[in-house]
């Protein structure tokens, strides 16, 4: 039974597996490796995941959701029709789609996966990821940190002895890791990051600048307009990776506006974001006590690290050799696949050891709302530490242990994991001696042993359900199972329909009739034609749509609408 590796990203998700002596990426039903992390839920419960849902973003903003990875582990819900969905349920739908793709690729059922998470994800978010796996029908026993996965991939493929820094700037999160790799060991030495900084923030900055320049206010736009503005900003951001000056015409409901951007201007607007990017780097270097001379190179990974603004800024800070990963979107998935192979104990990877660390401190609360850490951050996993504590009041017969995860000196500012109550014999304060042992293992399971007066209490903290009872979890599971994923065979046709819908909204009003006519023709042929006619209709319609898309893009860049693209086939 194969274990697959999954990269559950903010913008895109991928799956990979160790097969035939190497890690292979699993293609989806379109033959692509990247599946956008976008989910669209219809009224009858049918769910679209991936490229189709991405096309539905503009037309149906109220039932389509994207970039929900940031909300994992929180109570934030989105509403579609009569039901509210949490981020982990939406992630579960994406995972289910990936699971089906994997089963089709391997020809056998898949029940277990290793999922990648940002290194800086706290316990809430990690538990939410595990729950998403459960809701999708996958056991997620182990999670691998995203920069560790990248480090693994680089070291296994290149086999040098080196110390490098991994800078992973994804759609929504930033992770920085310091890695020491030699022979078959990949050792993570320090980790830092920002859970709320990513490419999405740069898009937001561009969109807000667009609004400011044109005298609009982002909050005052309708949701459809906001989606259009953000989409234009994103395309501008992607365009800046190739050209230094990008301009687009944005067609909103209010009217037509222009959006212009250069890389230098983007630097000025996003100064704050760039400064925030430098902080985790500084922290990682300080935590591990290394100097820049000891670092052999810096690897930039993650879709957003392709932005020249980001790459240059990191270069200007680091001074060491900076390499942009050759496949920034796929590295994490390949690394996750390798971690899965190591767990499976097969193949050439069985010797490789990935030694990861605990990104947050774990401890308990002591008097005066102070946090007393027992396991400090950047401690290598698996680790076990003991702290000794005593009572504060005379003849106290109970002690409450509040277990927290975090860095703040004030305990209540950290994340509460669990509360354990024990009883002790009443004695004068200071005479009771309690030993608290924390064991944190590579699967993220915290094992707590408390011993006092010769008695022992043992609690294993794993998979906290965060207030959800078992019944509620079953209930959610049931609801999700009822929602059917769109069957893969009809996906191609549906994709064309949705793309047509999007282009209809984007192109000038005069030409909308053309699209509508072609669309209804296509739908007619789907209903009544035989297989061969459907295939022909598919080819014709997809050609038409690609021409239309080109015309729309051209118009957005040049402001002119080139009618020569607009070829209508009148043969009926």
Partner 1 sequence: MNEFNVLGIAPTDDMILIKKAFAAKARECHPEEHPGEFKRLQAAYRAACRYAKAAGEAGGAGIFLEIGGSLAETDGTPGATISSDGQTGTEEGDSSGAVPDGEEEDSSGAVPDGEKRALSGTVPDGEKAQAGSVAVFAGERAPSSWDFDFSDVEKRQTDSREEFWERFEYLLWNPCLRNNKEAWRAFCRRPEYQGLLEEDSFRGELAGRILGDSYLYWNVNTLDSLAKMLKRYQKNKFALYETGTSAWSSFRRKAYLAGAAPKGPLLTSGQQKLLFEVEGTETLVRGQRVDMERYLYLYFAFAGENRQELERLHQSAAGRMRWIPCLRLLFRAGRMLLWLCAYLALPALLFMLGCFLLHEAGYLGS
Which residues from 314-333 bind partner 1, rule CB under 8 A? 315-320, 322
**Adjacent-strand bridge partners of 247:** 260
Q: Which is nearer to partner 1, 80 or 322 (CB)?
A: 322
For residues 225-244, which are near partner 1 according to CB under 8 A? Answer: 244
Q: Which of residues 175-234 bind partner 1 (CB under 8 A)?
A: 182-185, 189-190
Residue 72: closest CA among 129, 119, 114, 113: 129
Only segment of 149-157, 338-346, 460-468, 526-534 that touches partner 1 (CB under 8 A): 338-346
| 16 closest CA partner among 310, 338, 271, 309 | 338
- Point out which span in 268-276, 490-498, 500-508, 530-538 binds partner 1 (CB under 8 A): 268-276
In this chain, which of 79, 275, 484, 558 binds partner 1, going by CB under 8 A?
275
Q: For residue 508, count other CB atoms closer than 10 A to its CB.
A: 12
Q: In this complex, which beta carbon is closest to partner 1, that of residue 67 or of residue 376? A: 376
Burial 109-143 (b: 16+ CB within 10 A, else e): ebebbbbbbbbbbbbbbbbbbbbbbbbbbbebbbb
Structure tokens at 395: 């003849």
Under rule CB under 8 A, residue 367 binds partner 1: yes
- Listed residue (493, 121, 157) closest to 349, CA to CA: 157
**Size of the chain, expressed as the number of residues it contains:** 572
- Rounded Cα distance, 180 and 162, in Å: 6
Rounded to a whole number of angstroms, the minimum distance from the CB of residue 319 to partner 1 is: 2
Regarding 119 and contact with partner 1 (CB under 8 A), the answer is no
Kindly state the greatest CA–CA separation across the chain.
97
275 vs 558 by CB, closer to partner 1: 275
User: Per CB under 8 A, which of residues 13..52 are in contact with partner 1?
Assistant: none
Q: Name which position in 43, 215, 326, 388 contacts partner 1 (CB under 8 A).
A: 388
183 or 569: CB nearest partner 1? 183
In the complex, the smallest distance separating the C-beta of residue 104 from partner 1, rounded to whole angstroms, is 29
Question: CA 439 to CA 368: how far, in whole Å?
Answer: 26
Q: Closer CB to partner 1, residue 288 or residue 554?
A: 288
Residue 351 beta carbon to partner 1: minimum distance, rounded to whole angstroms: 6
Q: Which two tokens stand for residue 117?
A: 């998470």
Give exposure, 315-353, as e/b (b: 16+ Cβ within 10 Å).
eebbebebebbeebbbbbbbbbbbbbbbbbeebebeebe
Asked if 187 contacts 177 with a C-beta cutoff of 8 angstroms, the reply is no
Residues 358/415, Cβ–Cβ less than 8 Å? no
Min dist CB 274 to partner 1, Å, is 5
Q: Which of 53, 46, 41 is nearest to 12 (CA)?
A: 53
Taking the least distance from each CB to partner 1, the nearer of 267 and 488 is: 267
CB under 8 A: which stretch of 127-135, 289-297, 466-474, 517-525 binds partner 1?
Answer: 289-297
Nearer to partner 1, 250 or 411 (CB): 411
The nearer residue to partner 1, 110 or 190, going by C-beta atoms, is 190
**Are the C-beta atoms of 333 and 341 separated by less than 8 Å?**
no
Residue of 343, 476, 486, 555 that binds partner 1 (CB under 8 A): 343
Q: Rounded CA gap, 101 and 251, in Å?
A: 37
CA–CA separation, 306 and 238 (whole Å): 9
Q: Which stretch binds partner 1 (CB under 8 A): 83-91, 191-199, 387-395, 466-474?
A: 387-395
What are the CA-CA distances from residue 196 to residues 174, 199, 236, 451 (Å)?
8, 10, 22, 39
Nearer Cβ to partner 1 (268/560): 268
Nearest to 514 by CA among 560, 472, 545: 545
Q: Binding to partner 1 by residue 353, rule CB under 8 A?
A: yes
What is the smallest separation between the CB atom of 347 and partner 1, expressed in angstroms?
13
Instruction: Decide whether 25 or 149 has the Cβ nearer to partner 1.
Output: 149
Mapping DSSP to helix (H, G, I), strand (E, B) and coil, where does residue 80 land?
A: strand
Shortest separation between residue 64's beta carbon and partner 1, angstroms: 24
> From the CB of 155, what's the least distance to partner 1, in Å?
12
User: For partner 1, which is the closer residue by CB, 423 or 568?
Assistant: 423
Q: Using CA atoms, how far apart are residues 134 and 544, in angstroms rounded to an integer?
A: 42
Contact region for partner 1 (CB under 8 A) — 34-42, 44-52, 361-369, 494-502? 361-369
C-alpha distances out from residue 99 to 21, 103, 122, 317, 373, Å: 21, 6, 25, 41, 39
> Binding to partner 1 by residue 264, rule CB under 8 A?
yes
- The CA distance from 231 to 210, in Å, is 12
Element containing residue 547 per DSSP (H, E): helix 531-558
Kindly state the smallest distance separating residue 139's Cβ from partner 1, in Å: 17
Among 84, 159, 212, 398, interactor with partner 1 by CB under 8 A: 398
**Least Cβ distance, residue 45 to partner 1 (angstroms):** 30
Measured from the CB atom, is 184 or 479 closer to partner 1? 184
Q: Of 28-36, 149-157, 382-390, 494-502, which segment contacts partner 1 by CB under 8 A? A: 382-390
Which residues, numbered 56-95, are part of the site for partner 1 (CB under 8 A)?
none
CB-nearer residue toward partner 1: 241 or 493: 241
Q: Find the binder of partner 1 among 365, 405, 499, 518 (CB under 8 A).
A: 365
Closest CA to 96 of 142, 180, 39, 58: 39
Q: Which is nearer to partner 1, 45 or 272 (CB)?
A: 272
Question: What residues from 419 to 478 belong to the interface with partner 1 (CB under 8 A)?
Answer: 421, 426, 429-430, 433-435, 437, 441-442, 449
Which secondary structure element, helix H or strand E, spans residue 461, and what is its range? strand 455-461
């Amino acid at each position: 039974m194969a274990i697959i590796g999954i990269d559950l990203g903010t913008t895109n998700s991928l799956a990979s597996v160790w097969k035939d002596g190497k890690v292979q990426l699993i293609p989806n039903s379109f033959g692509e490796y990247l599946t956008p992390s976008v989910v669209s839920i219809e009224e009858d419960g049918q769910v679209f995941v991936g490229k189709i849902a991405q096309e539905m973003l503009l037309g149906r903003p109220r039932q389509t959701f994207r970039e929900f990875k940031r909300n994992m582990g929180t109570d934030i819900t989105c509403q579609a029709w009569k039901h509210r969905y949490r981020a982990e349920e939406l992630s579960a739908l994406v995972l289910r789609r990936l699971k089906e793709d994997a089963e089709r690729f391997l020809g056998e059922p898949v029940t277990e996966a290793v999922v990648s998470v940002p290194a800086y994800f706290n316990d809430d978010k990690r538990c939410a990821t595990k729950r998403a796996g459960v809701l999708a029908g996958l056991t997620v026993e182990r999670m691998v940190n995203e920069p560790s996965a990248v480090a693994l991939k680089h070291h296994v493929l290149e086999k040098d002895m080196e110390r490098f820094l991994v800078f992973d700037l994804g759609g929504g999160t930033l992770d920085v890791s310091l890695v020491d790799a030699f022979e078959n060991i990949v050792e993570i030495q320090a980790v830092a990051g920002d859970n709320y900084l990513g490419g999405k923030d740069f898009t937001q900055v561009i969109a807000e600048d667009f609004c400011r320049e044109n005298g609009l206010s982002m909050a005052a736009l309708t949701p459809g307009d906001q989606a259009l503005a953000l989409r234009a900003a994103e395309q501008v951001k992607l365009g800046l990776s190739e050209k230094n000056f990008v301009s687009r015409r944005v067609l909103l409901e209010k009217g037509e506006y222009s959006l212009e951007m250069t890389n230098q201007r983007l630097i000025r607007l996003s100064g704050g974001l760039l400064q925030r990017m430098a902080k985790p780097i500084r922290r990682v270097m300080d935590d591990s006590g290394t100097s820049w001379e000891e670092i052999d190179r810096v690897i930039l990974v993650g879709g957003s690290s392709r932005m020249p603004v980001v790459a240059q800024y990191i270069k200007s800070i680091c001074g060491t050799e900076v390499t942009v990963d050759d496949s920034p979107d796929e590295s994490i998935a390949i690394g996750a696949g390798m971690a899965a192979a190591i767990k499976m104990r097969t193949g050439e990877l069985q010797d490789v050891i990935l030694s990861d660390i605990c990104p947050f401190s774990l401890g308990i609360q002591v008097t005066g709302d102070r946090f007393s850490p027992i396991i400090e951050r950047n401690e290598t996993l698996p680790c076990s530490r003991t702290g000794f504590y005593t009572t504060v009041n005379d003849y106290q017969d109970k002690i409450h242990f509040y277990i927290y995860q975090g860095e703040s000196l004030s305990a209540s500012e950290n994340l509460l994991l669990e509360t354990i109550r024990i009883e002790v014999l009443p004695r004068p304060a200071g005479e009771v001696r309690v030993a608290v042992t924390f064991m944190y293992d590579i699967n993220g399971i915290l094992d707590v042993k408390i011993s006092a007066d010769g008695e022992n209490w043992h609690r294993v903290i794993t998979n906290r359900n965060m207030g959800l009872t078992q019944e509620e979890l079953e209930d959610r599971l049931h609801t999700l199972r009822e929602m059917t994923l769109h069957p893969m065979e009809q996906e191609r046709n549906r994709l064309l329909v949705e793309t047509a819908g999007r282009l209809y909204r984007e192109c000038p009003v005069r030409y909308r009739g053309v699209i509508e006519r072609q669309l209804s023709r296509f739908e007619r042929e789907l209903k009544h034609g035989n297989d061969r006619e459907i295939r022909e209709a598919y080819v014709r319609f997809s050609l038409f749509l690609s021409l239309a898309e080109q015309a729309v893009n051209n118009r957005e860049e040049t402001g002119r609408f080139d009618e020569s693209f607009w070829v209508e086939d009148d043969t009926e």
